[in-house]
Amino acid sequence: MADPLLRMEGIEKSFGAIRALRGVSLALDRGEALALVGDNAAGKSTLMKILSGAVFPDAGRIYLEGKPVVFRDPPDARRLGIEMVYQDLSLCDSVDVGKNLFLGREPIHRIAGIPVLDEAVLYRRTEEMLASLDIQVGSVRLPVRFLSGGQREAVAIARAVSFQPRLLILDEPTAALAVKEVEKVLALVQRLKAQGVAIVFISHRLQDIFRVCDRVMVMFEGEQVAERPIAETTLEEVIRLIVRAA
């Protein structure tokens, strides 16, 4: 039997006297979506920051396709195909869509030996990327501050996808979005799954996880307290698990 894409075993993390994670384990395969749910301070974001290289664990092991890996920082995780889209999105409001998408890795050409931004290539690649994901923003030259919440979320996801991740972590991707915008983000997640991208979906909007996730893991005070296949549980049971844990 083939190894899963990701396996985390016995992950522990403390911040001073606070034990944020207490031996958490999980596995995730290609094209699969795992929902992480639980009350605030359950440890969801800390676990994913460890997976994305932003936080170093105190104990535990991480395996990718059966091989042990160590992430010292986010570039380490990115090199191995792991991207995280944070809830604050980390977009530059005053910069347009194309330049946000390629921020820090802009295509250049040389004029008389001087490197110059190649805007034609940048905007062409941006249009191709957005078209491949069925993301519509009006114009790739539009500053991000003029986009709707759903469009901003889609651009942040597209930026992560442009690094060609094997695993994408989404932290509250549908929080505070209008109904139509939620639908667009969920459709984007489904397209990424169909392309074989593994997804970790952190959310308090439990109705959304039943739309796009294959499994749900409930966390409480740094521990995993339950895990269920989505097809074998209900919204009511997941709520009971969260409330019972709290």
Question: What domains lie within the chain, and their CATH numbers?
Answer: 1-81+165-246 (3.40.50.300), 92-162 (no CATH)
State if pTM tops 0.85.
yes
pLDDT score for 246: 54
Confidence of residue 168 (pLDDT cuts 50, 70, 90): very high
CA-angle at 136, arms to 132 and 139, nearest 5°: 110
| pLDDT tens string 137-151 | 889 999 999 998 889
The pLDDT of residue 109 is 80
CA 69, distance to chain mean position in Å, is 19
Confidence class of residue 116 from pLDDT cuts 50, 70 and 90?
confident
* Number of Cβ within a 10 Å radius of residue 67: 9
Q: How far apart are CA 82 and CA 61, in angstroms?
A: 16
Which is it for the CA torsion 120, 107, 157, 147, positive or negative? negative
Residue found by looking up tokens 């969801």 in the block: 44
Q: Which two tokens stand for residue 58?
A: 């105190």
User: Tokens 């008389």 belong to which residue?
Assistant: 112
pLDDT band at 123 (very low <50, low <70, confident <90, very high): very high
- Specify whether the CB–CB gap between 43 and 74 falls below 8 A: no
* pLDDT tens by residue, 188-209: 999 999 999 999 999 999 999 9
Check: CB of residue 70 under 8 Å from CB of residue 55: no
